[in-house]
Amino acid sequence: MAITSANQLELLQTAEAVAREKMIDPDLVIQAMEETLARAAKSRYGSELDIRVNIDRKTGRATFARVRTVMEDDLIENHHAQLTVKQAKNYLADPQIGDEVIDEVPPVDLGRIAAQSGKQVLLQRVREAERDRQYDEFKDRKGTIINGVVKREEYGNVIVDVGRGEGILRRNEKIGREAYRIGDRIRCFIKDVRREARGPQVFLSRTDPQFMAELFKMEVPEIYDGIIEIKAVARDPGSRAKIAVISYDNSIDPVGACVGMRGSRVQAVVNELQGEKIDIIPWNQDQATFLVNALQPAEVSKVVIDEEAGKIEVVVPDEQLSLAIGRRGQNVRLASQLTGLDIDIMTEAEESARRQAEFAERTKLFMDTLDVDEMMAQLLVSEGFGNLEEVAYVEADELLSIDGFDEGTAAELQARARDYLEEQARKALENARGMGVEESLINFEGLTPQMLEALAKDGIKTLEDFATCADWELAGGWTTENGQRKKDDGILETFDVSLEEAQTMVMTARVMLGWVDPTEMEPAAGDAEDSEPEEAEA
């Protein structure tokens, strides 16, 4: 194919047609054509030459030119595309480094192979321009809902025509056993938009919790206007969901507004989500109150929160247990996702049995260690005493406040408790020394003999060993593995050593050894929470 006057305008017409079809800039298509013709010219005149083609945007005339660049003598690598300053004086009056010598060369005919190669280049450039245009158009629409038409299905993934581009709805992003036919209209959530070397760039979802939140925003004007806010969403796609809402206007009921007249608003969302049952829950800043709401429709008798462990215990009536747990644990699982807490559910009977077991255990502890009868031990437990340290070092007035306790009884109990604790400390210290614990660690402030014994059992016998420990290794913590929270037991956790205390002790040991500048102590202590393995993802 030769570039003649007969087909010069045809180049421009072709470029405009392709650009219009792909919705990209016509100039990008013309640039691709210029590159195609330049490749063909190099195959004709020599690949070592720098051949450039320019297509006139008005007439379509293609101009072929050989370009040679003026370079320093010692940098010349290609004599066919580069010139020295001395050689350039034959063509330019005052050549400078970087100047170009341009000579027009005759146009070339595109052979079959060159035309095929040029077509590939053109298609590639057009595809790249199309992907860039699609990315630029959709990058700001991430997190919104879009309507599309099913175009085709590939290996269970649905390719959706979203107007000026395509999106992909993967198998794991479809609700349940959803099946679509070509031409079906579909509503999806734009989960992500990113540049990909090939294939779709717009990733869609119908299972993402935010898809339901966006649907409510479309159906409930108060949410769109910001009067009602969606604070949390948890979904078991296609089956059940919970959504927590709060109203910033006291005159508007957030739950009622989301349900709508005769359930019209929530029903519209349910229909879009293939009949997914939705519990709309009033959000509350108080965790316990919020959890009681989240476990609806089950009734809750009592809530006990362990903030340090991030766990919560919920006590429900015996007949409400199955309702609170839900089918296959669905209700409690969604409530856990909604509140961000691990939830342990027990019946009132189970809680009562546990409390009785704890009462009996503490009673036996006092009977065995203080050599008192069962009644006196039960009195101590009933008054809230849980261990010997509390009995030994509490103010005497607290013991005297117990019915039947006089000064002599209180003093004797405290003396027995202290004697027992001192004997236990002596034995623990002997054991620690017997296992090889050095004096440098024994004399370290803050470590009791029982702590030293526990450290020795874990192989920590010197101050250097102790200084290499992480705070969570000593105090314990929580990690997340495969979406499940897992407890990491600390060496000193049974001694109620907090993360902050553990970090302070470790940093003190490092300062004593000269590993850390004392000025680093203060900021390090402030970072205690950041080091907690609870934030780590395994």
Task: Note the pLDDT of residue 520.
Answer: 60
**Same domain membership, residue 152 and residue 118:** no
Q: Is the CA virtual torsion 503, 505, 506, 511 positive or negative? A: positive
Residue 326 lies in a domain: no
Higher pLDDT, 19 or 288: 288
**Same domain membership, residue 491 and residue 380:** no
**Average of pLDDT values for 104-127?**
67
- End position of a domain, from candidates 401, 426, 451: 426
**Same domain membership, residue 462 and residue 388:** no
Q: Which residues contact 390 (CB under 8 A, 6 or more apart)?
A: none
- End position of a domain, from candidates 129, 155, 176: 129
Task: Note the pLDDT of residue 515.
Answer: 87
What whole-number distance in Å separates Cα of residue 283 and Cα of residue 72? 73
Residue 537's pLDDT band (boundaries 50, 70, 90)?
very low
Task: Note the pLDDT of residue 282.
Answer: 92
pLDDT at 369 over 70: yes
Please give the backbone phi and psi of residue 395, each rounded to the nearest 5 degrees, phi first: -60, 140
**55: burial class by Cβ within 10 Å (0-12, 13-18, 19+)?**
buried
**Average of pLDDT values for 4-23?**
64
Q: Which residues contact 159 (CB under 8 A, 6 or more apart)?
A: 150, 151, 152, 153, 166, 167, 168, 169, 200
**Same domain membership, residue 455 and residue 419:** no
**Same domain membership, residue 365 and residue 449:** no
Domain that holds residue 107: 5-129
Residue 81's pLDDT band (boundaries 50, 70, 90)?
confident
Task: Note the pLDDT of residue 3.
Answer: 44
Residue 387 lies in a domain: yes
Please state which of the ranges 51-55, 273-277, 331-335 shows the lowest mean pLDDT.
51-55
CATH classification at residue 74: 3.30.1480.10
- Terminus-to-terminus CA distance in the chain, angstroms? 62
**Same domain membership, residue 166 and residue 112:** no
pLDDT at 27 over 80: no
**Average of pLDDT values for 422-426?**
89
Residues paired with 53 in a beta bridge: 64
- If one counts the domains in the chain, the total is 4
Task: Note the pLDDT of residue 462.
Answer: 92
| Other residues' Cβ atoms within 10 Å of the Cβ of residue 469 | 21
List, in sequence order, every beta strand (DSSP E) within 206-308.
228-236, 240-247, 277-282, 302-306
**35: burial class by Cβ within 10 Å (0-12, 13-18, 19+)?**
middle
Residue 381 lies in a domain: yes
Whose CA is closest to 528, among 471, 469, 466, 447?
471
**Same domain membership, residue 420 and residue 444:** no
CATH classification at residue 452: 1.10.150.20
pLDDT at 523 over 60: no
pLDDT at 118 over 70: no
Higher pLDDT, 153 or 12: 153
pLDDT at 151 over 70: yes
Residue 536's pLDDT band (boundaries 50, 70, 90)?
very low
CATH classification at residue 149: 2.40.50.140
Residue 321 lies in a domain: no
pLDDT in tens, 477-495: 777 666 566 778 888 888 8
- How many residues would you count in the chain? 538
Task: Note the pLDDT of residue 113.
Answer: 56
Structure tokens at 426: 């002596």
**Same domain membership, residue 441 and residue 420:** no
Burial 441-466 (b: 16+ CB within 10 A, else e): beebeebebbbbbbbbeeebbbbebb
**Same domain membership, residue 420 and residue 380:** yes
pTM: 0.58
pLDDT at 8 over 70: no
Higher pLDDT, 186 or 134: 186
Structure tokens at 473: 């290794």
Q: Which residues contact 79 (CB under 8 A, 6 or more apart)?
A: none
Higher pLDDT, 536 or 139: 139
Residue 199's pLDDT band (boundaries 50, 70, 90)?
low
